[in-house]
Amino acid sequence: MKKSLFGLIICLTMSILPLSASEKIRVAVYDLEPSNVSKETAYTVSNMLRAELFTTGRFITTDKSTMDKLLKEQAFQQTGCTSSECAVEVGKILNVSVMATGSINKLGNNYNIAVTLTDVERGETLQVEKDSCDSEDQLSNVVRNIAITIALKMPITGKVVRVSSQESVVVDLGASDNVKQGMKFLVNRIKEEIKDSTGKVIMREYEDVGEIELLDVQKEASRAKFFNKKLTVKEGDTVKISDSVITGNTNTTKLIQKIQSSSVPGSGSFIDPAWRSLILPGWGQFYNKDEFKGWLFTISGLGSAAFTVITYTNYSRKYDTYLNQTDINLIEEDYQEANQEYQRFNGMIRLTAGIWALNLLDAVISFDPKKQHAESNDPNAMFCQSNGVDSVKIGYTIKW
């Protein structure tokens, strides 16, 4: 089982971006420009962004100490870097493909972060991602959301690893890279590398080979066919999914929207866990993302309810025996047994009511509007689905 039932809830999403066969992108993050916030806060957020981008599995990031060393060697003196020209200049010094620059500012009670990704080779802006929160405690969540959104939107690239024929190829992109049958990729190769006086590549010119469509998608690779061929394909040619396919993918768009909408963790009120706990003990705790208490109250609540039913059944049976008893010598004995079972039944009712009330009280007291709460489609979450008045399904999903 991938998760312990009592483990912590994921992150959305770090597990949604596994390490894959697709080509990793070299990226560097220039320290975010602070405005109305301390330099220490901007420095910390910049380091968090480097770490979160690396964690997605899509990027190779340049650490802060290496950046400072390389920029110092090149006598780069600029304190801030927010323009595309600066991003390109720094990116070339650091020898990365993508440069991330941006700012963090505080306006009123809101912390706003904006990150711009620039293609160093072409000098083009690839993405601009923005997010905000109302406290420093939430900055880590905001940075994580931005990193995941960047990774999801970043075009997927790979290589042609085998040429079966001039119409059929195998590429090193598979299901682990979130590609599917029918997806279309552009194929190109480096035509010329332009170098400076030191021999360093400062620009590459590409030529289009054609377009392919994925036919057979396996875990680590896929077979594809050409449908718009311009040149003879070779092993090592680059395959790249077009931006329009990424942004037009419904599932990806929904996932990005979900991540962005969750940047403000708090939502709802104490009524949300309260009504859940009234229906089923422990459900309110699951909503509050406290799985240990959730399972504790669910098991104890349903267990006591089950024993209540059992003791009532026993009492009912023994009471019927007492009423139907005709032997005067056994009437008193049957009465005592029925009375004892009735006392057990009363005790179980009190116990069950107590667990239900404690469960409700705990769910309300433990509710924190500043924290994220469970969604119906969380990997591990209690759910309630209704298809009408006569169709209601309650359960708990577990990711194995």
Please give the CATH topology (third level) of the domain spanning 157-241: Thrombin, subunit H (2.40.10)
Those residues with Cβ within 8 angstroms of residue 323's Cβ, 6 or more apart along the chain or in another chain: none
Choose among 150, 134, 135, 133: nearest CA to 61: 150
Q: What is the pTM of this model?
A: 0.50
pLDDT tens, N- to C-terminus, the chain (400 residues): 333 333 333 333 333 333 444 567 889 999 999 999 999 999 999 999 999 998 887 788 999 999 889 888 888 876 678 788 888 889 899 999 899 999 999 998 899 999 999 988 888 888 899 999 988 888 999 999 899 888 877 777 888 999 988 789 999 888 877 778 888 888 988 888 888 888 777 777 888 899 999 999 998 899 999 988 889 999 989 888 754 444 444 454 454 455 445 444 444 577 888 888 889 999 988 888 888 898 999 999 999 999 999 999 999 999 999 888 888 888 888 889 989 999 999 999 999 999 999 999 998 888 876 565 555 444 445 554 444 444 445 555 544 4
Number of Cα atoms under 13 Å in the Cβ half of residue 86:
16
CB atoms < 10 A from the CB of 338, how many?
A: 21
| Burial environment of residue 53 by CB neighbours within 10 A (0 to 12, 13 to 18, 19 or more) | buried
Those residues with Cβ within 8 angstroms of residue 164's Cβ, 6 or more apart along the chain or in another chain: 170, 223
Which two structure tokens, joined as six digits, stand for 104?
């963090």
pLDDT for position 399: 45
Superfamily of domain 25-154+254-261: TolB, N-terminal domain (3.40.50.10070)
DSSP string, 273-315: HHHHHHHSTTHHHHHTT-HHHHHHHHHHHHHHHHHHHHHHHHH
Ordered by start, the domain boundaries in the chain are: 25-154+254-261, 157-241, 271-397
